[in-house]
């Protein structure tokens, strides 16, 4: 095929190869789009759950998926002796801890971990900041999230002491002897205890999938352009 002195002369092997690469890239882009839509749909459901009235957290064991991201309320007594300080938490550029204290639910043996908020670390890291804990029965409200909190873990051994780098509910239960729910409450009560409670809204992560989709479609377009450029040649005028 010749157009204005340019001849389209594709080779079979290059056509087949280009078609396979382009089809694969387009399919990968479409898969990333479907993942993005799936995450956005899930985020909409989570947002809807967060706007529903608070539900009571019972004394019996619960499943994480039944309460995660819901607003919950629980009544009980703190057990300050088993408070831990989750290390390396940043607030406005300052390093500190998340203060996590177990709350005994009602009068039974079940406990729930309450993330009471952030507190700055002392310049001398060997000294922990002072945290006031109510001794009377309290009602706590907040958002339920997974009790497991992990960053970088170099060892599975529990380091003795109140400062922890990671939190695993099973390991915590083993270290303290307490029965704990698989959920943790991000406390949202307005309590004058010196702790900062500014919880980051969980992101759906769909933006990353949209970015990957654009990359795959862009690469498919680039392959198509390269294929066309290499398959078109200019005809030289014949001398008479």
pLDDT tens column, 154-165: 455 555 689 998
The residue among 87, 94, 143, 135 whose CA lies nearest residue 114 is: 143
In this predicted model, which residue has the larger pLDDT, 156 or 221?
Answer: 221
Q: Residue 240's pLDDT band (boundaries 50, 70, 90)?
A: very low
Q: How many CB atoms lie within 10 A of CB 146?
A: 16
Neighbours of 96 (CB within 10 A): 21
Alpha carbons 204 and 72: distance in angstroms, whole number:
21
- Of the candidates 175, 176, 151, the one whose C-alpha atom is nearest the C-alpha of residue 165 is 151
Judge whether 190 and 169 are in contact, CB under 8 Å.
no
Of 44-48, 68-72, 80-84, which has the strongest mean pLDDT?
Answer: 80-84
Q: Which residues contact 141 (CB under 8 A, 6 or more apart)?
A: 54, 71, 72, 73, 74, 185, 187, 188, 189
Q: Residue 30: CB partners within 8 Å, gap ≥ 6? A: 213
- CB 109, CB 153: distance < 8 Å: no
pTM of structure: 0.68
pLDDT digits (tens, 9 = 90+) for 31-40: 999 988 888 8
Distance between CA atoms of residues 139 and 153, nearest Å: 33
Separation between Cα atoms, residue 98 and residue 142, nearest integer Å = 15
- Mean pLDDT of all residues belonging to the chain: 86
Q: Coil, strand or helix: which one is 189?
A: coil
Q: What is the pLDDT of residue 33?
A: 93
Least confident of 36-50, 76-90, 154-168: 154-168
Q: How does strand 163-164 pair with strand 94-105?
A: unpaired
pLDDT attached to residue 207: 86
Token reading at 136? 């009377």
Write out pLDDT tens, residues 102-139.
999 998 999 999 999 999 999 888 899 999 999 999 99
């Amino acid at each position: 095929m010749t157009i204005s002195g340019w001849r389209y002369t594709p080779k079979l092997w290059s056509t087949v190869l280009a078609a396979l690469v382009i089809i694969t890239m387009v399919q990968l882009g479409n898969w990333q789009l479907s993942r993005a839509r799936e995450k956005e749909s899930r985020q909409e459901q989570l947002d809807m759950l967060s706007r529903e009235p608070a539900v009571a957290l019972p004394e019996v064991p619960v499943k994480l998926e039944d309460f995660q991201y819901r607003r919950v309320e629980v009544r009980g007594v703190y057990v300050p002796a088993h408070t831990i300080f989750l290390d390396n938490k940043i607030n406005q550029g300052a390093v500190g801890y998340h203060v996590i204290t177990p709350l005994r639910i009602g009068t039974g043996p079940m406990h729930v971990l309450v993330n009471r908020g952030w507190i700055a670390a002392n310049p001398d890291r060997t000294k922990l900041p002072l945290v006031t804990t109510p001794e009377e029965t309290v009602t706590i409200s907040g958002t339920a999230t997974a009790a497991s909190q992990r960053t970088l873990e170099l060892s599975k051994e529990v380091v003795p002491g109140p400062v922890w780098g990671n939190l695993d509910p099973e390991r915590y239960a083993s270290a303290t002897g307490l029965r704990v729910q698989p959920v943790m409450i991000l406390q949202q009560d307005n309590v004058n205890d010196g702790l900062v409670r500014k919880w980051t809204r969980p992101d759906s992560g769909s933006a990353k999938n949209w970015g990957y989709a654009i990359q795959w479609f862009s690469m498919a377009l680039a392959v198509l352009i390269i294929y066309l450029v290499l398959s078109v040649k200019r005809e030289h005028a014949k001398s008479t």
